[in-house]
Amino acid sequence: MLLSPRIRAALLAVASASLLAASLPAPAAVPLGIGDPLFPHLGNPGYDVTSYDIALTYRGDHRKPLDAITKIDARATDRLDRINLDFARGTVHSVDVNGAPAGHESVGEDLVLTPKTPIGPGGAMRVTVRHTSDPAAGSDGGWIRTADGLAMANQADAAHRVFPCNDHPADKAHFTFRITAPKHLTAVANGLATTRHHGERTTTWTYRTRHPMATELAQVSIGRSAVVRRTGPGGLPLRDVVPAKDRASLERWLEKTPEQVAWMERKVGRYPFETYGMLLADAKTGFALETQTLSLFEKSLFTRPEYPEWYVESIMIHELAHQWFGDSVSPRRWSDLWLNEGHASWYEALYAEERDGPSLQARMRHAYQKSDEWRARGGPPAAPKQPEPGHKISLFRAVVYDGSALVLYALRQEIGQSAFDRLQRRWVRTYADQSASTADFVRMAGRVAGRDLGDFFQEWLYAPTTPPMPGHPDWKTSAVSTASSASPASSGV
């Protein structure tokens, strides 16, 4: 929520440029960003969001737009004559800033507001946007239409296709969701339920997060759902959301979560949030997603007989591990994505090994063989290539999954098991509820190991080819075939 001094300095540079522009008569509104090279127009300079309050009214037809009111509480970090929000794919009816009507226009994927009076540096602002949120308008993320309603998948850049926001994980905030839906449906969102109001034909469900959250991790599920409750380690409330008709047949999977949370806690420490659970959506998504406190899965992952049990369990662990790596500790820039996916893949592989899956070493040896090819295709782990235009999910390539778990394996080989374990625990404890960068990780690893690891990480994270694996001089990478360099992205988890 509160950005680091380094980011503030960068924002100041952008803001002073816009101040110069503001002294000229009526400059045109332009889409802005916070300087993420992979997503130049994502996020906005000049303010920190502290909280979102999002009210959604669903009328029972997931092809029709929802009515919505999004209230954003934020603090200006600079003088703001204009306020840029990220928002595309909805009709904006009206905008208030601090209670007064404000001008608004859509430019690119930004909604640019002109408040009656400029906001001074440090000033509080409450922005209220009355708008629609359209689940039918596109297929590049945001709302997902399920057999019985809606769910959400906003990673990496699609939250602003659902609600107006500062759509970058560097600006985390608290969230309240108020979802009004026909009586026969169940609504669930991130965090814990606070109140429920019954109208004549509708119910309004309110959920609130206790921890700050990135916009990309927002989740709202509306459908004919059963909410299955149980208690996890240390009294952690668990709640899974499943199609009501499939509740009994899915129980054998749902009941695994308490043991999985305990397993992760033995590895890295206390679970970071107020609740956890799985949302099993009756939809074809092609991925699972670590939406905060309520991970999204395709129901079919749990019903297709061809998947071995260890495989399904390891995908469950992947999303659970993200609650620490990616959710509680968010990326500062999208090029830090390897910290999310590398760690989630690491625990996925460790868990698979314990459950009759392939051994970690065999999996890492295979990753080593492929690593040069993955780097050629997707860039090195911490400097990934741009996603393909119009296909931003292609950022999620093999190099950020097993190609980055391989970096963690090399690190463990280099500094030893005990230092590696201490680093994992210290990382999620130190940066809980914050955004952290690759440089933060490199610095902390060096401190824990008691020596500078700058050269080691430079090679492993940024070199176009894979360095020798410590302790395995016999491991070799396959030659890069030029024919495969244009092959499609792997389907992510």
Say if strands 202-208 and 174-182 run parallel, antiparallel, or are unpaired.
antiparallel
Among candidates 315, 370, 241, 369, which has minimal Cα distance to 492? 315
Dihedral (C-alpha) 89, 95, 97, 102: value to the nearest 10 degrees? 110
Q: How many other C-beta atoms lie within 10 A of the C-beta of residue 122?
A: 10
Q: Which of residues 452-471 bind Zn ion (CB under 5 A)?
A: none
Please state, in angstroms and as integers, the Cα–Cα distance from residue 107 to each residue in 28, 33, 87, 161, 248, following that order. Answer: 10, 13, 9, 14, 48
Residue of 181, 222, 283, 493 interacting with Zn ion (CB under 5 A): 493
Name the residue nearer to Zn ion (CB basis): 188 or 493.
Answer: 493
Give the nearest distance from C-beta 301 to Zn ion in angstroms: 14
Give the nearest distance from C-beta 318 to Zn ion in angstroms: 6
Decide: 171 and 49 in contact? Cβ < 8 Å. yes
Q: Which of residues 327-356 bind Zn ion (CB under 5 A)?
A: 341, 344
Name the residue nearer to Zn ion (CB basis): 204 or 285.
Answer: 285
Give the E-state strand segments of 244-338 in sequence order: 278-281, 295-298, 329-331
Give the nearest distance from C-beta 157 to Zn ion in angstroms: 16
Residue found by looking up tokens 């991970």 in the block: 295
Name the residue nearer to Zn ion (CB basis): 84 or 340.
Answer: 340
Give the nearest distance from C-beta 207 to Zn ion in angstroms: 23
Give the nearest distance from C-beta 216 to Zn ion in angstroms: 12
Name the residue nearer to Zn ion (CB basis): 56 or 344.
Answer: 344
Q: Report the distance separating Cα 158 and Cα 170, nearest Å.
A: 15
Q: How far apart are the first and last CA of the chain?
A: 26
In DSSP terms, 223 is beta-bridged to 186
Tell me which residue has its CB nearest to Zn ion.
344
Name the residue nearer to Zn ion (CB basis): 102 or 217.
Answer: 217
Name the residue nearer to Zn ion (CB basis): 113 or 339.
Answer: 339
Q: Total binding residues for Zn ion by CB under 5 A?
A: 3
Give the nearest distance from C-beta 273 to Zn ion in angstroms: 17
- The residues of the shown chain that bind Zn ion, judged by CB under 5 A, are 341, 344, 493
